[in-house]
Structure 1
Amino acid sequence: MEDYLVTDFKRVKEHDLGLFAIFDGHLGHDVANFLQNNLFDNILKQGDLWSETRKAIKRAYKKTDEEILDKVKQLGKGGSTAVTAILIDAHKLVVANVGDSRAVLCKNGVAYQLSVDHEPTKEKREIESRGGFVSNIPGDVPRVDGQLAVARAFGDKSLKIHLSSEPDVEVKTVDETTEFMILASDGIWKVMTNQEAVESIRHIKDANVAAKRLIDEAVSRRSTDDISCIVVRFR
């Protein structure tokens, strides 16, 4: 198991925050563990988080990746995807991600994907412009330089010249139509559509029970990847 989760609640500068994240590590767990312990701290240190939210989060992701690369001797050559969500004062939701862990929002029973799946084929031009390539071997998924199945990740020092760690950031308002959010690693999304995931747990009011239901369903569909899931209910 190379996945690490965060579910935390804090009060910072008169703001009530809910902090949620999934970090799906590869080639070891040390980078994912480092992210679990440091990424939100770096985000919350950004003085303009409240006014320039997107810029602040992108800066914090960049700083954290630089710290990981500087500690390659301790953390190893592996890496990690990330999907983070910050709920501010129960009404503003900020989601950021690198890689293929995903955030999905349910509004009035309809699934809306908040994150972006950073697949090598989608970013082939950017990867090639940095001198890398995307392999397309029959029977395998596309990979950056024939190795990594995501186009953006933390760590992966040997691939970093061809690999981005810049997140996509989405800001949404939580209103009376917003029911719940799912954060999950790709082990769920490889065997379930966003709408299937939403419909399978919409009737479950307990968030922990709902998350377990999604994991059990993914296992029953023979998902072979790491499977981690957080469900956050808004009403």
Structure 2
Amino acid sequence: MTGREILHKMKVKAGFGSSSSDTGKGKSKLSGTHITHGFHLVKGKSNHAMEDYVVAKFKKVHDSELGLFAIFDGHLGHDVADYLQSHLFENILHEPAFWTETENAIRKAYQETDSKILEKAVDLGRGGSTAVTAILINGEKLVVANVGDSRAVICKKGVAKQLSIDHEPSKERQSIEKKGGFVSKFPGDVSRVDGRLAVARAFGDRSLKMHLSSDPDVVVEMIEPDTECLILASDGLWKVMSNQEAVDSIRDIKDAQSAAMHLTEEALSRKSKDDISCIVVSFH
């Protein structure tokens, strides 16, 4: 086994994932809770290497347990997404205000991480990545942040609720044009920043950064007794499934890993050609 293969296996075991097909699971150690998670990734039909990365793990920090979940969807190479997998949560948790002003700390960490990525452009390349992150604090408080079009959806009483915002160029045209950029859309295509990138916010993308934002939208959601599950997934899933369809398709699947696998397989059956990565957190 090569050193690269050993490192890959260590990442999967630690709750990180990316390859042609990765899968994993875990559970909370909080007494009195039955919170579990599972993830599954499948490479799309493109010729380039897999560009999605996942973080899914529970971590004890001081006297608290944090559930750390994230989807990083790279473009024009996977190096930025890989960097985010290794550094974004670390940067968030190192913010002095994380425990007192969590939302502001996450916003600051997102922006500072993007600055570090731009500084390392020689090593990380010209590509970028979207991100959706979810931090579950003691099984009670969920803080979701995102830039780009990966998505977080929560299910309560069988009803899907989108917690993240899809940062589509057409929706942020005014902001992009104020920065000197433009939004174009050719027949049969999606709207793009400067005719190139299909999201209005992202990490990296040094050549477009003057016209892009890395400011995340942040939302807090309390976990109630009627909360059933949380789904995080890249746009490879959401291009072919609605929020409610995704929730409906896994409500009867008790195992979170099986649920994540089912969603990726369903997306493939619906002819999704993009990389597909999915995390399911079950609160049953």
> What is the CA deviation profile of residues 143-187 of structure 1, one whole-angstrom value per residue up to 9, with x for unaligned ones?
000000000000000000000000000101001010100000001
What is the RMSD of the two structures over their aligned residues, measured on CA atoms?
0.6
Aligned with 1:161: secondary structure? helix
Q: In structure 2, what is the equivalent of residue 109 of structure 1?
A: 158
Residue from 118, 126, 135 that aligns with 1:86 = 135
Percentage identity across aligned positions? 68
TM-superposed deviation, 1:13: 2.5
Moved over 4 A (4+): none
Residue from 268, 272, 284 that aligns with 1:219 = 268
C-alpha separation between the residues in 1 aligned to 2:140 and 2:67?
Answer: 11
> What is the CA deviation profile of residues 30-81 of structure 1, one whole-angstrom value per residue up to 9, with x for unaligned ones?
0000000000000000111122111100000001000100000100000000
C-alpha separation between the residues in 1 aligned to 2:196 and 2:254?
Answer: 41
> What is the CA deviation profile of residues 117-139 of structure 1, one whole-angstrom value per residue up to 9, with x for unaligned ones?
00000000000000000011111
C-alpha separation between the residues in 2 aligned to 1:70 and 1:176?
Answer: 45
Aligned with 1:228: secondary structure? strand
C-alpha separation between the residues in 1 aligned to 2:97 and 2:82?
Answer: 26
Q: In structure 2, what is the equivalent of residue 2 of structure 1?
A: 51
Residue from 171, 175, 196 that aligns with 2:224 = 175
C-alpha separation between the residues in 2 aligned to 1:73 and 1:193?
Answer: 38
Q: Structure 1 residues 156-165 or 50-59, which shifts more?
A: 50-59
Q: In structure 2, what is the equivalent of residue 152 of structure 1?
A: 201
In structure 2, give the amino acid aligned to 1:161.
M
Q: In structure 2, what is the equivalent of residue 229 of structure 1?
A: 278
Query: For 1:44-59, what aligned pairs fall within 5 Å after superposition?
Result: 44-59=93-108
Please say if 1:162 is aligned against 2:211: yes
Unaligned runs of 5+ in 1: none
User: RCO (CA 8 Å, sep 6+): is it higher in 1 or 2?
Assistant: 2
Residue from 78, 87, 96 that aligns with 2:145 = 96
Q: How many residues align?
A: 235
In structure 1, give the amino acid aligned to 2:265.
D
Unaligned runs of 5+ in 2: 1-49
C-alpha separation between the residues in 1 aligned to 2:233 and 2:155?
Answer: 14
